[in-house]
Amino acid sequence: MGLDRIINGWKKENNALVLTERFEDFNEALAFIVRVGLLAEQSNHHPTITNTYNEVSLMLTTHDQGNVITEKDYDLAEKINAILTIAK
């Protein structure tokens, strides 16, 4: 697929894919962050993660390509969506 594809729940903002999700409480949000972190390590591609209580925001961009959206970002977004369905 091309680099203009849409990933469910993600928005394009400032050369990045961005997702914001709310969870029941802080513990669920933190558990999701841990799963994303493990997935990021496996993929060797790391999102910017922001957490405020039960809300988690993720930003994906490829820094070594000049901070643009690449196939790595789309691939990781799809993997994150897969664990998100389990988390909620």
Between 86 and 30, residue with greater pLDDT: 30
18-34 b/e with 16+ CB inside 10 Å = b? bbebebeeeebbeebbe
CB atoms within 10 A of CB 87: 16
Domains of the chain in sequence order = 11-87 (3.30.1360.20)
pLDDT confidence tier of residue 75, bands split at 50, 70 and 90: very high
Report pLDDT for 7. Answer: 84
Q: Each residue of 16-45: pLDDT tens digit? A: 999 999 999 999 999 999 999 999 999 999
CA distances from 72 to 31, 44, 52, 54, 56 (A): 23, 9, 26, 27, 21
